[in-house]
Structure formats: C-alpha cells, structure tokens
Amino acid sequence: MNFDIKPASDYSIPDLVEIVNRGFQGYFVPIHLDVTALLNMIRKDGIDLTMSRIQVVDGEPAGIALLARRGWTSRLAAMGIAEESRGRGLGSLFMEQLIEEAHQRGEHEMVLEVIEQNQPAVHLYKKYGFKITRRLIGFIRHDAAENISGDLSEMDLREAGQHITRYGLPDLPWQLSGESIAQLNLPSRAFCDGQAYIVISNPDAKEVVIWSLLVEPNARGNGLGVKMLKSIVAHRPGKTWHVPAILPEELGKVYERAEFEREKLSQWQMKLTL
C-alpha cells in the first residue's frame, strides 16, 4: 500500500466535493455536499485548504481532512475515509499525520465534534488524546405557531457575532462562535429584542435553522430567551425550526421551555491539548 498526504488546495472544488462525499458514504449520518454547500462551509467555518489534507493510497484519493485555524487553535471540521478503503488503519495514520503537523505549526490545541453514537470514531479520537469537553444536542419544532409577538428589530450579522463573542460561552463550538456567526451572509438573518438576540438561516425556507440565541448576562433569568423564540416563531408561523446538534447541553433548557423537542442524535465536543 503506497500512502501519501497532499494539500487539499492541490484539488479543484468539484473534486473535493466528490472526495468528501465518498469519504462519508455509508457514514453514521450520511453527508452529501454540492459545490455551493462546500464553499459556504469553507467561508463560514474558516477552512484552510492549504492546511487541509487529502490521503492518497496507491495513487487515488482515499480520505480527506478539512481543517480550520484561528490563532493557536485548529479544528478538524471533517474527516472521512472512502468506504472501500476503511478497515485498513488509514484513520490512525491520518490522525498521526494531522497531529504532527499541528505540532509543527506551533498550535496549542485541536478541537472537533464527533457524533456520540459513532463509537469507532469516538474511540479513535480518544486514542490520540482528545478529551470530551461537553455533550452537544439538537432540538426541533414542527409546524410551529405562537401568539406572542415581540418587538423584533433586524440587526447586522456581524454585530450579532460581536455580541456572541462578548457575552456567549468562551468555548462555544466553532460553528456557533462569534467569529463564525459574523461570517454568515444573507439569506441568514439576525434579530434583537432589547437584550436578547437570535440568528437564523433563511426565514423564508420551510425549515429554519437557529444558529444562535443569546441573552446578555445582566438580563438573564427573566424569560427573555423563551420570549425571543416564541416571537420569531410567531413572525414565521408554520415553519419547522431546527437547532443542529452542536448546541451545548447546558443551554438546552430554554428550548424545552419553548416547546422544542430534543433530538436523539448528540455529539461530543472534544479537545486535544498539544
């Protein structure tokens, strides 16, 4: 078996889409990207294609690792091995290389999220020293309708990101950090009602993703988070509202109080100190 590692920047975006989709074929939760979805992921999550890697076996791409970097921290945004190449120890070889390169770059830590129920992947990351930071969960509410109509004002997504950086948890999952939220563009939108803020995907779509819900610290405990959720639902009745399974578990109670249903899928947020 001839094994090599190449920068993802050596490949075209359409080729990378194909490699990603092959790497996640038959995965615990199937992933299928198109060019637009991959480009949006690269922009929003700060993925660096020069730092990301393609695993080549016998001259053919067999795996992909998409990595992002901010300061002294890198994030393994996605790692997948083509179905026909699994079971040959390639995941371990890949992780060894990725961690060694992170050391060479002088990074202090590497972070990732992994589906809790995907035990082989969890075991792989633990094998290389990753520690669980917290559980990440998701919520959904179908055909939602509310009578509460708060005084919602639209705000700049960049400003919303600044509020999240200032008032949110300091170790939010990468995709929910203020830096990532500030990279969102239309049709995503941000709204505020006093000291409460919410960031959502396209509100005209049938299913709307809630990326962030935030209440300033000195205003917490007054039900403003629940009010904001019910207000946004009232402004767009009949939608399905989805919170992806990247929400810190300790932030979930507000969604339960707003009649969202917790999803079965969960993830571990993990960190490797380098």
- Whether residue 187 has a cis bond before it, omega within 30° of 0: yes
User: Does a structural domain hold residue 116?
Assistant: no
Q: What does DSSP assign to residue 124?
A: H
What are the mean pLDDT values of the chain's consecutive 10-residue runs (274 residues total)? 91 97 86 93 94 94 96 96 87 94 96 95 96 98 84 96 97 96 94 97 96 97 95 93 97 97 97 97
Q: Is residue 206 part of a domain?
A: yes
Q: How many domains does the chain have?
A: 2
Residue 132 lies in a domain: no
- The answer to whether residue 127 is domain-embedded is no
Q: Which residues contact 15 (CB under 8 A, 6 or more apart)?
A: 61
Identify whether residues 93 and 149 lie together within a single domain. Answer: no
| Domain limits for position 238 | 138-268
Q: Is residue 129 part of a domain?
A: no
Q: For residue 166, tell me if it sits in a domain.
A: yes
Other CB atoms within 10 A of residue 145 CB: 12
Three-class SS state of 201: coil
Give me the sheet containing 131-144, strands edge to edge: 3-7, 53-57, 60-70, 73-81, 109-115, 261-273, 131-144, 239-248, 207-215, 196-200, 189-193, 153-155
- Could you tell me the CATH number of the domain that includes residue 166? 3.40.630.30
pLDDT score of 85: 86
pTM for this predicted structure = 0.94
Residues 162 and 228 in one domain: yes
The pLDDT, as a whole number, for residue 27 is 83
Nearest to 130 by CA among 118, 142, 156, 112: 112
Is residue 71 domain-resident? yes
Same domain membership, residue 196 and residue 145: yes
Looking at the structure, tell me whether residues 159 and 245 fall in a common domain: yes
User: Do residue 242 and residue 196 come from a single domain?
Assistant: yes
Out of 51, 85, 107, a domain closes at 107
- What are the φ/ψ torsions at residue 15 (nearest 5 degrees)? -65, -40
Together in a domain, 167 and 61: no
Q: φ, ψ for residue 181 (rounded to 5)?
A: -60, -35
Residues 158 and 201 in one domain: yes
For 93, the 3-state DSSP assignment is helix
Q: What is the dihedral of CA 196, 198, 203, 208, to 10 degrees?
A: -130
145 shares its domain with 102: no
Q: Quick one: pLDDT at residue 26?
A: 84
pLDDT tens sequence across 176-202: 999 999 999 999 999 999 999 999 999
- Is 56 domain-assigned? yes
Tell me, yes or no, whether 155 and 258 share the same domain. yes
| Domain boundary residue, one of 89, 107, 125 | 107
